[in-house]
Structure 1
Amino acid sequence: MAEATEAPHRWRVLALCLAAGFMTLLDVSIVNVALPSIQHGLEAPSAALAWVVSGYALAFGLVLVPAGRLGDDRGRARMFLFALVAFTAASALAGFAQGPVWLVVARLVQGMAAGLLNPQVLGLIQQLFRGRERGRAFGLFGTVVGVSTAIGPLLGGAIIELAGDVHGWRWVFFVNVPIGLLALGFGIKVLPADVPSGRARSLDLPGVALLAAGLLCLLLPLVQQESGDAQWYLLPFSPLLLAAFAGWERWYARRGHAPLVDLRLLRIRSYSFGASLALFYFAGFTSIFFVLAVYFQRGLDYSALQAGLALTPFAVGSAVSAALSGRWVNRFGRKLVVGGLVTALLGLVATDLLLVVHTGPLTGLVIAPAMLVAGLGSGLVISPNQTVTLSEVDVAGGSTAAGVQQTGQRIGTALGTAAASGLFFGTLPEGGYDAAITLGLVVSVGFVAIALVIGIVELLLPGPVPGRQE
């Protein structure tokens, strides 16, 4: 694929990438508040509602790695435009759904398109930007990640409020269509031409199959946990299949072929530590919004819009610090990430303590300062960690490396949500909502603490600070 270049339209390309990333990541969380509207409008059973949420997350996670490889080999701009068309079309199909099965299938296609699109976004950023500019670009992308995840319930609640309970859920999907069409027209004009890699490499279909099967056995029980229909018997097969995948990749490479994932990638210290840190941070980061949204709406009788507003301080803090972090990451490297983790952890602990001593209709306002601090910390984690993690990766394999890293993030998201929701709903019958939210947030705190330990361990190892540029 192309080497690192500084394209004349790179900032326009970045704007396009941010818009596309925002759409796909927003759809992870925005649908949660629309579920009652979907149930009312389509008379959908609980199993279908669960698949509307979990199907998107599952399809998203399964295609990330092969999508990254396709971008590296076949062209990032080409794959970007194809995925954008598919995502926009699937959003329209979801909005026009006439029944639960139609909607679930549309969400599966939408998730696959999102998984195809996101590695190209990160690959293009790495390809088109260098040095401090790359840090700024990843900082802006980190802003998009934090804001899209946190603001999803707010936007979803506002749309339902304006469009009504019966058909409001349709506009949660329709809103992607005009944005997607505008992005498509803009992308055709500004995306850099794909430069042929000169390598006619097969996709390593056995590797794709083994990885997909291993991830399916891991992710499917986790994403279905909330519905009460999780196939936990699949979990033991996951490590076996993933070990078989690793063995196959080594054998395939020794035979002179190009594996789906070059496992030498994991020997890069900054990459392996950064990917592990991201997995655990996303397990804590995303589970926060799930348990708090349920607590506000069911425990405190907040409307969907009020629940979204209560989570807004986190989004604001994340947006501000992520934008600033791009200026600091080249100076401080992984130290900036560790500082962000400490700040986020303090904010989450303070939130949990405030929820212990205060409940009632003003709870959202009471925890707002602590949520703002947690958001400020989060903005110093996601985008700087992205920059440091990919800093030593060859640009030619940037999309594949990004796909592997994002797969870890999807695993973390599923793991954190399953653990937090399991503890939350397990505590609910005897302890009520106040006890449930306290224990649910303990899961988030625990995962963020593990991420912090990983970051500290890396800093204690001999050698220069990862990602720091003098």
Structure 2
Amino acid sequence: MLAAQFMALLDVFIVNVAAPTIRAELAASGAGLQLVVAGYTVSYAVLLITGARLGDRFGNRRVMLLGLAFFTAASLACGLAQNTGQLIAFRLGQGAGAAVMIPQVLSLIQRNFTGHARVRALGAYAAVLAVGAAAGQVVGGVLVAADLFGSGWRPVFLVNVPIGLALLAAGARVLPRDSRARAPRAFDLPGLLLLAAAVSLFTVPLVLGQEQDWPLWSWLSLASSAAFLAVFVAYEHRLSTRGGAPLIAPRVLRIPGIGVAALRILLVMAVNAGFLFVLTLHFQAGLGHSALRTGLTFAPTAVVFGVVGLTWARWPRPLQRALVPAGFTVAAVSGAAVGLLLRDGSFGGPWLYVAFAAVGLGLALGYSPSLTGALAGVRQEDAADASGLLATVTQLGQLVGVAVFGSLFLGRLADTAAVSAGQRSADALLVCCLALAVTAALGAVSGPVRARR
């Protein structure tokens, strides 16, 4: 399950490295290239709730294998695409396959693991989230640089095919059979369409607005998203009071602590994605590093995130309650430290790696206990609701982080008057790192604020 999730996460980031080569070989326009990169993310984010509900209705094992097969086939089609239009269409298909597949991971963990085994499984899940982002850039850089058999950018998609086929064969043998005793809920199609519209109208401007300098349509789309979300909430409440089966069961939203946990997960993902995005821009455009070197620079963050995600539950019990606020505090301090270490336009020296490792430590402590706590009170019959909700929050957090902090970085880059490109980038990065620190600090205080209320 986690190998499949890792492959899907890899595809969010791996194409960024290959984008210049794709543009040159396919003569893609700027808008076309944006859709190649962003089409996957858009369809992925929009269809996550749908994927969760399909798993609840038709069985998590069956739907996960179906999503994996669709993702693998779409990856093959992407690798063989002959023009930009085909590549965009197949990237949308990849995202749809990932959206069907990924929610089943959390649902299967919920339904097949208990106690400490579940904590370990969720820790591994968190580790995959962290490693996937950095690994995407490293693997993309290696594959594009290798130019296997003169194939250019195509291996970044074709590499999924043998892995996907192997996972399909393994999954058919080892994934637990779907229970026949569990009666599926009715399919809330109107709610599904309303939520898909709200998420689409929110996601598309976040993905494309930054590149187009936030035109009027992007703001109208965001406003429309809020309107559709309000209609969705009203419809779901009315359906629930009439005894129907809403898309997300109201009792899931009433589980103690799930709201603050979702907020903290969103903040962790926003900080993580924003941190990786602006640092990538700084290292590659500002300092002239290669994609491979840039990806390897993030290794301390990914490794520490993964290790802490796997081990935090074995730390002394008196520390458990303080882990999340302490983690956000560490992330805030170390994020600001990264900006200060790089403020003079240099690489930052050995202390930069220490700061990167501290960012991984802080984000892992903010994420893993929050996720585990959010799912602790979820009953098995509500696993799909919780999985779809938290998977969507995770993806939206990443999109918000890239859009907000990416726009802040590029805006400051255009405004600063420094002479060299490296110093201009460093000045913009410092502002972004301080903003990231403030965002992480919000996660540290979110629990106490809720407790006082």
Shorter-chain TM-score bucket reads over 0.9
Q: Once the two structures are superposed, what CA deviation does each residue of 1:128-180 show, in whole Å capped at 9, x if it has no partner?
A: 11111111111111111111112221221122122279733211111111111
Question: Which residue of structure 2 aligns with residue 310 of structure 1?
Answer: 297
**Are the equivalent residues in 2 in contact too, given 1:223–1:414 (CA < 8 A)?**
yes
**Is 2:286 the counterpart of 1:295?**
no
Alignment match, 1:419: 404
- Hey, what does 2:127 align to over in structure 1? 143
Structure 2 partner of 1:278: 265
**Aligned-pair CA distance for 1:255:** 2.1
| Residue 314 of structure 2 is aligned to residue 327 of structure 1 | yes
Worse-matched range after superposition: 173-182 or 374-383: 374-383
Q: Which amino acid aligns with 1:193?
A: R
Q: Which residue of 2 aligns with 1:404?
A: 389
Answering whether residue 180 of structure 2 is matched by residue 196 of structure 1, we say yes
The CA deviation at 1:51 is 1.2
List per-residue Cα deviations over 1:407-459 (Å, max 9, x = no partner). Answer: 1122221111111111111111231212121222233223222222213434x
Is 1:63 matched up with 2:50?
no
Contact 2:56–2:184, Cα closer than 8 Å, also in 1: no
- Structure 1, residues 196-229: CA drift from partner, whole Å, max 9, x if none? 2553533111001110111111111111123216
Unaligned runs of 5+ in 1: 1-16, 463-470
In structure 2, the CA distance between the partners of 1:185 and 1:163, relative to structure 1 (3 Å rule), is same
What is the distance in 1 between the residues matched to 2:12 and 2:393? 16
Write the distance in 2 (CA, Å) between the matches of 1:277 and 1:393: 18
1:91 to 42, 58, 75: 75
Q: Secondary structure at the match of 2:102?
A: helix
Output the CA distance in 1 between the equivalents of 2:44 and 2:26. Answer: 24
| Corresponding residue for residue 220 of structure 2 | 233
Work out the CA distance in 2 between the residues paired with 1:446 and 1:101.
41
- Aligned residue-pair number: 443
Instruction: Give a deviation string over 1:30-75, Cα, whole Å, max 9, x none.
Output: 2211111211221211111111222111111111112112212221
Aligned to 1:110: 94
DSSP-derived class of the 2:298 partner: helix
Q: For residue 436 of structure 2, what is the aligned residue in structure 1?
A: 444
**RMSD of aligned alpha carbons:** 2.0
- Shift, 1:370, TM fit: 0.5
TM-score by length of 1: 0.90
Distance 1:91 1:241 in 2: 32
**Which residue type is aligned with residue 293 of structure 2?**
Q
Q: State the match for 1:259 in structure 2.
A: 246
Within 1, Cα distance between the matches of 2:221 and 2:283? 33
1:129 and 2:116 are equivalent in the alignment: no
Report the residue type matching 1:437 in the other structure: L
Aligned pair partner of 1:81 in 49, 60, 65: 65
Alpha-carbon spacing, 1:339–1:406, altered in 2? closer, same or farther (3 Å)? same
**1:435 partner amino acid:** D
Within 2, Cα distance between the matches of 1:238 and 1:72?
A: 26
SS in 1 for 2:210: helix
Return the offset for 1:328. 4.1
CA-CA distance at 1:331 after TM superposition? 7.0
Equivalent position SS for 1:322 = helix
The 3 A distance-change label for structure 1 pair 330 and 399 is: farther
Q: Residues 332 and 438 of structure 2 are in contact (CA less than 8 Å); yes or no, is this contact kept in structure 1?
A: no
Q: 1:388 to 1:39 in 2, by over 3 A?
A: same
Asked if the contact 1:83/1:117 (under 8 Å) is kept, the reply is yes
Q: d(CA) in 1 for partners of 2:150 and 2:232?
A: 46
- Equivalent residue for 1:434? 426
Q: 1: CA distance between counterparts of 2:319 and 2:57?
A: 33
1:145-224 paired onto structure 2 within 5 Å: 145-163=129-147, 167-224=151-208
Moved more, 378-387 or 259-268: 378-387
Instruction: Write the distance in 2 (CA, Å) between the matches of 1:329 and 1:24.
Output: 34
Match of 1:345 in 2: 332
Report the Cα distance in structure 2 between the residues aligned to 1:85 and 1:454, rounded to whole angstroms.
40
Cα contact 1:71–1:79 (8 A) shared by 2: yes
Summarize deviations over 1:178-204 as a string: whole Å, max 9, x none.
111111000100111111255353311
Partner letter of residue 244 of structure 2? Answer: H
Mapped pair 1:454 → 2:441: no
**Per-residue CA shift, 1:325-344, capped at 9, x if unaligned?**
24349875553222222222
- Residues 157 and 305 of structure 1 are in contact (CA less than 8 Å); yes or no, is this contact kept in structure 2? yes
What runs of 5+ residues in structure 2 fail to find an aligned partner? 417-423
Q: CA deviation at 1:321?
A: 1.3
Q: Could you tell me which amino acid in structure 2 is paired with residue 441 of structure 1?
A: C
Query: What's the CA shift for 1:257?
Result: 1.7
Normalized against structure 2, the TM-score is what? 0.93
5 Å-filtered alignment, 1:335-414, equals: 335-356=322-343, 358-360=344-346, 362-363=347-348, 365-414=350-399
CA distance in 2, matches of 1:174, 1:155: 13
C-alpha distance in 2 between matches for 1:334 and 1:115: 33
Q: Say if 2:249 and 2:382, in contact at 8 Å, map to a contact too.
A: no
Does 1:40 pair with 2:32?
A: no
Cα distance 1:183–1:226, how it changes in 2: closer, same or farther (>3 A)? same
Q: In the alignment, is the contact (CA less than 8 A) between 1:207 and 1:260 conserved in 2? A: yes
Residue 122 of structure 1 and its aligned partner are, at CA, apart by 0.5
Please report how far the alpha carbon of residue 86 of structure 1 lies from its aligned counterpart in structure 2 after TM superposition: 0.7
Give the counterpart letter for 2:436 in structure 1.
S
Q: Which deviates more, 178-187 or 189-198?
A: 189-198
- Supply the distance in 1 between the matched residues of 2:318 and 2:82 (Cα, whole angstroms): 54
